[in-house]
A and B are shown apart, each in its own frame.
Chain A
Amino acid sequence: MKTRIKEFRAKYDLTQEDLAKKVGVRRETIVFLEKGKYNPSLKLAHDVATALKSRIDDVFLFEE
């Protein structure tokens, strides 16, 4: 799974730490999410997308 979290973070000038605080998770979790190496729950995906003022399917790209 690929994500555009880094791209959206840059757009809103957010560090990983800032995004982690907004979402309520560890910075480490954001790192793993950005690398596409962690499958978030629906709630976490929604919280991340909301924090980045986007939709889930804009932030998380599922490969066919």
Chain B
Amino acid sequence: MKLRKDKDILSFIGVGLITILLGSVALFFQTYSKTITVLGGISILVGIMMCIGALVASTKPKTELIADERVTRINEKAGYAAFWIVLLALTILYWADKIWSLNIELKGMYSTVLLVGIYSWLILRWYYNKRSDI
């Protein structure tokens, strides 16, 4: 498997490694504040994801990563549909809370709706990519 060593790929990996390093440093100060611990953990996770993303991108030819009109169209269609799915999810949560007195907190609703939005966008992107007539 050939890995591309473009300037973009290497700089992305570099930023990922620096983020991991900063997260690790933050964990050394975890006794001072819980917030620093959480931020440190998140930084490490983000750094790892950046490195993995860059490595995956480096295995593909540059032409496969272009955001051409078809990809843009797919992203727009998926984003439009995901927007309505998020609104629907919010409406369902609101009425479910009202009817059954679920006492849903804003924090819980936020994370649920965020996940619904992200996953519906990703799934719809896959679906529109497979579908021919977009």
Contacts and interface: CB of A to CB of B under 8 A. Distances in A.
Contacts of B70: 25-26, 28-29, 32, 38
Q: Which of B64, B66, B71 is packed against the most chain A CB atoms within 10 Å? A: B66
A37 B69 CA distance: 14
Interface stretch (A2-10, A39-47, A49-57): A39-47
B105 interface: no
Contacts, number: 38
For chain B, which range describes its interface: under 10, 10 to 19, 20 to 34, or 35 or more residues?
10 to 19
B57 to A, nearest CB: 14
A37 B133 contact: yes
Interface string A1-42: 000000000000000010011001111110010010111110
Contact of B134 (A26, A35, A38): A38
Interface of B: 61, 63-64, 66, 68-71, 132-134
